[in-house]
Amino acid sequence: MKSRFIGYSVAAFALAAMLSLSMISISAAQRGGANPAAAPTPRTASGHPDLTGFYAGFISGISQAAPDEKVLTKTTDGSIFYDYAGAEGGGGHPDDGAHLKQHPDQPSYKPEYMAKVNAIAARDYGGTSPDDPQMSCKPLGVPRAGVGIVQIVQNDNYVALLYESAPGPEYRIIYTDGRKHPDDLDTSYFGHSIGHWEGDSLVVDTVGLNDETWLAGGVGGQDIYSNIHSDKEHVIERFTRKGNDLTYEATVEDPVMFTKPWVIIPRHTSIAPADDYIQPEMCNTNDRAHIIAPSAKDQYQCNFCQKDPDGLYGEGASDRDKSKTKGAPAPASTGGGE
């Protein structure tokens, strides 16, 4: 499997177990500065921000989107409060298929395609699905690959994104030499990308994307999240570097499946520590065959929840869980999402 992510996942698990409702003191030097965006922004000879660098600045297991204050909070003295919240925190227990709802950032699918999204979500177990193309080692595509763990190389003619694991080692070229999209273009996982500068933002237009990738990762928490798209997908992205912080924004158009363009929640990453670097990572499909399929008797709840608390802790232990299910949201509808 992927060595960096095995290490990260083990470390994250251990950290979560030890640091529930605790404080972690991390020096500014270890964090690469209290605010990565406050550092000077490097620029090329032409005056544009230089995106070149190795980015791996987000915390494993925590979204690349805007910081979630419910999970990670900084105090005035620079310490970090990690609210693991225990077995029943975070996603909201019970976290099973009967309580799925549309994610607030869900694309606005046409009804017939929202039905397919719901069907995919129903086969999800614990945030994982054998339907996910990455489980078959297919590249993540655009915008899902986004600004994960990536080495960026920039010159006047192109910007190259070298992904460490998306889900295997993948690369993407964004041409900035003024060329247009080819008239006769075969589709591919990352399509054909051309970029130009608008102020300090690199604006990228991507077409020629195949329909073999997902937009995002199936189910997040209790929410059905964006996934399928057609081969008519068209993506406009913005890469903005300020100091050592890189902001990634994207708008996705799909005239086949969407009723309107989908604007993702902006993602952030930052330059990795000086001694970190891109590592050789390979993908294999060993996990796919072992993913649990949900059933009437086996619905995912959360990582540490007991499915039979009465049997383990004594009669009545499940009463609190039963009370928490009252008034739970109805199963996801097949209507278009927002």
Number of domains the chain is built from: 2
Q: Residue 57 domain-assigned?
A: no
| HEC string for the chain | CCHHHHHHHHHHHHHHHHHCCEEECCCCCCCCCCCHHHCCCCECCCCCECCCEEECCCCCCCCCECCCCCCEEECCCCCEEECCCCCCCCCCCCCCHHHCEECCCCCCECHHHHHHHHHHHHCCECCECCCCHHHHCCCCCCCCCCCCCEEEEECCCEEEEEECCCCCCEEEEEECCCCCCCCCCCCECCCEEEEEEECCEEEEEEECECCCCCCCCCEECCEECCCCCCCCCEEEEEEEEECCEEEEEEEEECCCCECCCEECCCEEEEECCCCCCCCCCCCCCCCHHHCCCCECCECCCCCCCCCCHHHHHCCCCCHHHHHHHCCCCCCCCCCCCC
**Residues 127, 152 within the same domain:** yes
- Convert 198-213 to b/e letters by CB count within 10 Å (16 or more is b): eeebbbbbbbbbbbeb
User: Residue 152 is part of which domain span?
Assistant: 99-270
Highest-pLDDT range among 90-104, 109-123, 134-148? 134-148
On the question of pLDDT at 130 being above 90, the answer is: no
pTM: 0.74
Distance in angstroms (rounded) separating the CA atoms of residues 1 and 9: 12
Q: Give Cα separations from 267 to 68, 78, 239, 248 (angstroms).
A: 12, 23, 10, 5
Q: Residue 295 domain-assigned?
A: no
In degrees and rounded to multiples of 5, residue 271 shows phi and psi of -60, 135
**Residues 31, 171 within the same domain:** no
User: Looking at residues 46-69, what average pLDDT do you find?
Assistant: 70
Question: How many CB atoms are located within 10 Å of the residue 238 CB?
Answer: 16
CATH number of 193's domain: 2.40.128
Q: Residue 245 domain-assigned?
A: yes
**Residues 28, 130 within the same domain:** no
Q: What is the pLDDT of residues 161-183, one digit of tens each?
A: 999 999 999 999 999 999 999 99
User: Looking at residues 143-152, what average pLDDT do you find?
Assistant: 94
**Residues 166, 226 within the same domain:** yes
Question: In terms of pLDDT, which residue wins out, 104 or 62?
Answer: 104
Distance in angstroms (rounded) separating the CA atoms of residues 259 and 337: 9
Q: Which of 187-196, 244-253, 328-337 has the weakest average pLDDT?
A: 328-337
In degrees and rounded to multiples of 5, residue 93 shows phi and psi of -75, 140
Question: In terms of pLDDT, which residue wins out, 66 or 197?
Answer: 197
**Residues 42, 121 within the same domain:** no
306 — pLDDT class (breaks 50, 70, 90)? low
Distance in angstroms (rounded) separating the CA atoms of residues 261 and 233: 10
**Residues 257, 202 within the same domain:** yes
On the question of pLDDT at 82 being above 90, the answer is: no
Q: Residue 328 domain-assigned?
A: no
95 — pLDDT class (breaks 50, 70, 90)? very low
**Residues 175, 257 within the same domain:** yes
* Of 246, 191, 185, residue with least CA distance to 37: 246
Sequence length of the chain is 338
